[in-house]
Structure 1
Amino acid sequence: MRNFIRLLRLCRPHYKAMLLGVFLTVLTVLSNVGLLAISGWFLASMAAAGIASAQMNYFTPAGIIRFLAIVRTASRYGERLVTHNATFLLLSEIRVNVFATLSQLNNQQLAMNRSADLFNRMQNDVDALDKFYLNVLLPMLVALVCVPIVIWIIAGFNPAVALICFCGILLVGVGLPLLLNKKLSRSAAQQIKRSAQLREILSDTLSGQRELAIYQATERQLAKCNQVQKSYNVLLEKRHKALADSDGLSLVVVQFAMLASVVILVPLVQLEQLPNVHLAMLSLFVLASFETVLSLPSAFIQLPVALSAAGRIFALHDRLPQAVDALADIPLCASKGDTNPEMQGMGLTIQNVSYQYANDPLTNALCSRPQVASEHYALQNVSFSVQANEKVALVGASGSGKSTLVNLLSGLWPEQQGSISLSRQMKAPSTSDISVVAKTLSFEQRSNLIGILAQQHHIFDGSIADNLHYASPEATKAQMIQACEQAQIGQWLQGLPNGLDTRLGSAGRRLSQGQSRRLAIAQMLLRQPAILVLDEPTEGLDNQSKQAVMQAILHAMRYSTVLCITHDPSLLQTMDKVIWLDEGQVKGEGSHQELLATQQEYAELVIRV
């Protein structure tokens, strides 16, 4: 019910178009019922007049029939036009709402969802809701309006027939839908789940074709796809069978209601308590009155599917973090273009930070089985400090906790134990130092302060300028060219016929790995964050250019605090300090030369790499 109410709230911006669609549909249904009933009365009256050789005014009923036919045709056309337009409006509202939700999710929520699952929610779940108004909400509203009117009219002629018609309508419009809804409620959730699994496994199969071919696992992967497809088809067959059974049972109920009405009316006609022409009229009236609820069984069958899809979509919205704006007025970062060291770099303090993936609530929420508590910590009581504008390197073997520490710093993972704080020491005597706890910042504030140059970087299907504008929308052409030159792709850029307007293709397919890496560096140079986190910044670059690129980064970020994950000895020598992590703990701290001289394991780690 909660998801149903939330769907109704999405309908609120377009309620006028939807109510107009309800009015036109009601007009169409009542016109059709009235047309069939009056046509039966007219034909019976004409036959009776012919048998009795009596005269009859056929102009008035013929005019009414023609009027109802015109109203039905016009209202049907208008109903199709308005209701489908309202459906598209609601669909656009849902799609915009889903995309807005995804755009507001931080890296933490996005990282805890597979891309195929997110794509499935945006496409398959939204498609399941595209006819919520047309096939679910509209039939319910029309039935609520039309059924009382039809029963009231029939009761004016014969209460017993009205009672039979009402019972039949209740059975077709309420009994069967409730039975089907109860029967298909579980399979609806399974259908959405199987559809998501099918899309995910097909996405993985297409993305991993090369690996499947190398390991000769294509047939096994296709067998998994077929298995999921078969289970999904079973659920679809169950739903379609339920629809067919519903249509058949509804037809039986309608015919029995009409037959029962005839049985009641025939003795009344024989006793001359009811005009004989009313027999045909009321019989056809009862038959046509079921049009008000014939679409309800289908609506109740689609309702569980729609609510299940809505639940998955709203689950994303419920994960939106609550932004903390209490610190919005504090000058945490410098203004664009400010090169004053007092207002650019920020200090960083990590105090007793521990992290255990098995205790992560988001990880547990995505696992089908509860995670067993483990003694292994990705980070355990890690403490160190970085001064403003200091250049610090993080060194450690694979699994030592470097990436976990960066994820905590950026907000990718939630903090469990310890604290991370940001600070700026102001040299002006009239100002006091600024210090804030990182988790009290909103995601937007943290993103403005901390920039991360990750190993995997996505290039959008657009021009070079488009990709650079993602990092800095207000960047000028001169600033973008300067950033590209600092990232050592200036000469390559000058050789392009279209320059910054050169399109890069989907995922930057027209770029080499080194060019893609340098473009990502240029984006970060444009952004100029207070704290810059570099994850293997020279990965994919040749020996001739990596030193020049790193020097350009350090020069451009000379007023920023730099935290660099690297094992390159040439880069380590340029760092002010090295923090050596091993098995989630700080094993050493000092300059590169000091650690080389005092720590044999550190020397072996760096030399081996």
Structure 2
Amino acid sequence: MTAFKLLWNAADRRARRDLLFAAVLAGAAELCAAGLLGVSGWFLTSCAVVTAQANTTWSWMYPSAAVRALALSRTGLRYWERLVSHRALLGATVSLRSRLVRSTTTVPARELRNRRDGTLMARLTSDAAAVGGISAQVVPPLAGIGVTATAVVALLLVANPLASAAELVLLATSAATAVVADRRTREHRKAAAAARTAAGTALLSARSALPELRCLAAVDVVRDQVAETVGRARQAEAAAAEVTRRARLLLRLLAAVGQATVLLLALSGPVFTQPAADAIGQALLVAAAYELMETLPQVLRDNGLAADAALRLADLANRTFSRGRPTASPPTLPPAGPTRALEIRQVPVGVGDDRAQWSAMIEPASVVVVTGPNGSGKSTLLQTLAGRIIPDAPGSVLVAGVPVESLPADVIADTLTLVEAEDWIADATVAENLRQAAPGADDNTLRAALAAVALEQLPLHTPTGPQGGALSQGQRRRLVIARAVLRAPAVMLLDEPTTGLDDRTAVRMLMGVRLVLPDSALVIALPDRHHELIPFSTTHTLRLQPCARQPLSTQG
């Protein structure tokens, strides 16, 4: 998907109209600028000739009026084009980002999990901005270059067909020079980026293995390897800069040749001899076209950056729209109710090669307790049930008969809620963290959720600090559980919710969750001995042990 196609599909009707209108205004503005340069040169030369000949019948009013009109038109059109193109830029970028954000809700949970390093945010911000930037940085300049070059060649065709043909060849050569230079520059920049990435990876690996490298006396070897990689990156960057420099010099040389060609053909020979004023006007008109050609490398560079960004956004963009409409419907689930059972078919549990297989049907209002020491695979099992880890056998975990790994994130979020052992907390207040799950909840609802997890003494305006650092471990754990309670999911997965709590508080919290979510299925992972804190009957009890086959015990 090209950058322009991606932008056009994402933009609304107004943004599309602004995009086209900006191109028209840019072409008209550059045409006025070229005309101003040509008419001004012709006018000044004519004045000098008339003065030398003492011709008092020549009128300067009409040419001066034309110069003034062209100057005002150029200024007004350029200002108007800037307003329209920036409005198109803002409108298209907003539309594109909103579409992409909506498309992330169709991404399976495991893919979102893999993008927590910031790549997804980079796609939605910098890449979307690069694609949206073509509405102001690529489309209007290309329109101005195309319109001006076409008009110059057409005018020369009327005045001097041979000069028109020569300029057409030279302008085409200039465009080809810019395109070839852009391709070579992009290749060098990609090589430089790959080399710097390799150097960064080598440095991180060396940092983690520094004691071993010192023991093996290999620090200098690794240093030399990293230095060599950085040197390759610098060489590639220098090569890209050299290609750009030579391309600009060649474009300026072609511009000089083009102007000289017009003057020579206009003033030499009995057939092509023209008045000096006309020849100067034509030469300056051609100069305006070549001046725009010198901006072509930068325009192509911006277009290349947008094209690369569009390729990175293609997987998100193709999920939700084609010409602004959905291309495929994501998997859906039946309405909430008894049909939303969580079915487990031969899911490996525990750790090691000799793992047991677990099958169960987790019905609404049921309670499953998973116990075992640290390292026995409790968190891995819960993440598998939540669709964040792909099961060994596809279709091993089903929600209402649909494999959980095929469900998009928004569908899973309406059914399953996993509270991890170290879940994320925003650097905000308690209320703002809770409203992430229920944006429209009032203060009484938020206080009820806190009371359900034995956290009613914590004021809503309490700041949580970065990653919840202003709260104790037990408060952080109960806050994220309260946030999950506000979602009222059909299945709630709790990973060691009692860690950091005394026995009395742990019992209050577990009982509060059961009371406010009586119809929800609970899957609770607890360390050894904490399963005795469960204050209600359980449907299943699954005990795991590390590195050994474990028979599954079930209590009814």
- Normalised TM-score (structure 2): 0.82
Which one of 525, 530, 533 corresponds to residue 490 of structure 2? 530
Q: Is the 8 A contact 2:33 2:288 kept in 1?
A: yes
Partner amino acid for 1:407? Q
Which one of 163, 166, 175 corresponds to residue 164 of structure 1? 166
Show the 5 A alignment for 1:259-408.
259-268=260-269, 273-318=273-318, 323-324=329-330, 327=333, 330-333=334-337, 347-353=341-347, 381-397=357-373, 400-408=376-384
Distance in 2 between the 1:81 and 1:467 partners? 40
**SS of structure 1 residue aligned to 2:55:** coil
Distance in 1 between the 2:4 and 2:272 partners? 52
Are the structure 2 counterparts of residues 233 and 16 from structure 1 closer, same or farther at C-alpha, using a change threshold of 3 Å? farther
Which one of 416, 426, 445 corresponds to residue 479 of structure 1? 445
Q: What residue number does 1:607 align with?
A: none
**SS of structure 2 residue aligned to 1:485:** helix
Q: Is the 8 A contact 1:488 1:549 kept in 2?
A: yes
Q: What residue number does 2:425 align with?
A: 459
CA positional deviation for 1:319: 6.5
Are the structure 2 counterparts of residues 582 and 482 from structure 1 closer, same or farther at C-alpha, using a change threshold of 3 Å? same
**SS of structure 2 residue aligned to 1:417:** coil
Q: What residue number does 1:47 align with?
A: 48
Partner amino acid for 2:23? V
Which one of 421, 436, 442 corresponds to residue 470 of structure 1? 436
Q: What residue number does 2:59 align with?
A: 57
Q: What residue number does 2:177 align with?
A: 176
Are the structure 2 counterparts of residues 79 and 591 from structure 1 closer, same or farther at C-alpha, using a change threshold of 3 Å? closer
Distance in 1 between the 2:271 and 2:554 partners? 113
Are the structure 2 counterparts of residues 237 and 302 from structure 1 closer, same or farther at C-alpha, using a change threshold of 3 Å? farther
Q: CA RMSD in A?
A: 4.2
Higher relative contact order (CA 8 A, sep 6+): 2
Q: Is the 8 A contact 2:252 2:294 kept in 1?
A: no
**SS of structure 1 residue aligned to 2:115:** coil
Structure 1, 376-385 or 80-89: larger mean CA deviation: 376-385
CA positional deviation for 1:37: 1.4
Partner amino acid for 1:305? L
Q: What residue number does 2:6 align with?
A: 6
CA positional deviation for 1:185: 3.5
Partner amino acid for 2:500? G
Are the structure 2 counterparts of residues 273 and 58 from structure 1 closer, same or farther at C-alpha, using a change threshold of 3 Å? same
Q: What residue number does 2:542 align with?
A: 579
Deviations 1:291-319 (A, max 9, x none): 34332222223322221122122334457
Q: Is the 8 A contact 2:416 2:489 kept in 1?
A: yes
Distance in 1 between the 2:332 and 2:86 partners? 45
Are the structure 2 counterparts of residues 386 and 28 from structure 1 closer, same or farther at C-alpha, using a change threshold of 3 Å? closer
Which one of 413, 427, 433 corresponds to residue 447 of structure 1? 413
CA positional deviation for 1:153: 0.7
CA positional deviation for 1:15: 2.1
Which one of 78, 98, 118 corresponds to residue 116 of structure 1? 118
Q: What residue number does 1:369 align with?
A: none
Distance in 2 between the 1:289 and 1:489 partners? 72
Q: Is the 8 A contact 1:531 1:560 kept in 2?
A: yes
- Normalised TM-score (structure 1): 0.76
Distance in 1 between the 2:397 and 2:272 partners? 94
Which one of 485, 506, 510 corresponds to residue 550 of structure 1? 510
CA positional deviation for 1:194: 7.5
Are the structure 2 counterparts of residues 8 and 232 from structure 1 closer, same or farther at C-alpha, using a change threshold of 3 Å? farther
Deviations 1:108-153 (A, max 9, x none): 1111124233343344434544532333222222233332222111
Q: Is the 8 A contact 1:346 1:530 kept in 2?
A: yes
* Unmatched runs of 5 consecutive residues or more in structure 1: 334-342, 358-375, 424-434, 494-498, 595-609
CA positional deviation for 1:255: 0.2
Are the structure 2 counterparts of residues 556 and 289 from structure 1 closer, same or farther at C-alpha, using a change threshold of 3 Å? closer
CA positional deviation for 1:484: 1.1
Deviations 1:426-445 (A, max 9, x none): xxxxxxxxx53444765434
CA positional deviation for 1:548: 2.9
Q: Is the 8 A contact 2:348 2:357 kept in 1?
A: yes
Q: Is the 8 A contact 2:97 2:124 kept in 1?
A: yes
Distance in 1 between the 2:509 and 2:223 partners? 45
Aligned pair count reads: 538
Deviations 1:133-181 (A, max 9, x none): 33322222223333222211111100111111111111112x1122123
Distance in 2 between the 1:521 and 1:414 partners? 25
**SS of structure 1 residue aligned to 2:460:** helix
CA positional deviation for 1:45: 1.9
Distance in 1 between the 2:122 and 2:471 partners? 29
CA positional deviation for 1:40: 1.9
Q: Is the 8 A contact 1:579 1:589 kept in 2?
A: yes
**SS of structure 1 residue aligned to 2:294:** coil
Give identity over the alignment, percent. Answer: 22
**SS of structure 1 residue aligned to 2:486:** helix
Are the structure 2 counterparts of residues 312 and 442 from structure 1 closer, same or farther at C-alpha, using a change threshold of 3 Å? closer
Q: Is the 8 A contact 1:354 1:377 kept in 2?
A: no
The answer as to 2:375 corresponding to 1:410 is no
Q: Is the 8 A contact 2:464 2:470 kept in 1?
A: yes
Q: What residue number does 1:508 align with?
A: 468
Distance in 1 between the 2:125 and 2:179 partners? 29
Distance in 2 between the 1:273 and 1:47 partners? 19
The answer as to 2:523 corresponding to 1:566 is no
Deviations 1:254-307 (A, max 9, x none): 001111222222223x66843333222222222223234332222223322221
Distance in 2 between the 1:117 and 1:201 partners? 21
Structure 1, 157-166 or 97-106: larger mean CA deviation: 97-106
The answer as to 2:24 corresponding to 1:23 is yes
Distance in 1 between the 2:105 and 2:55 partners? 77
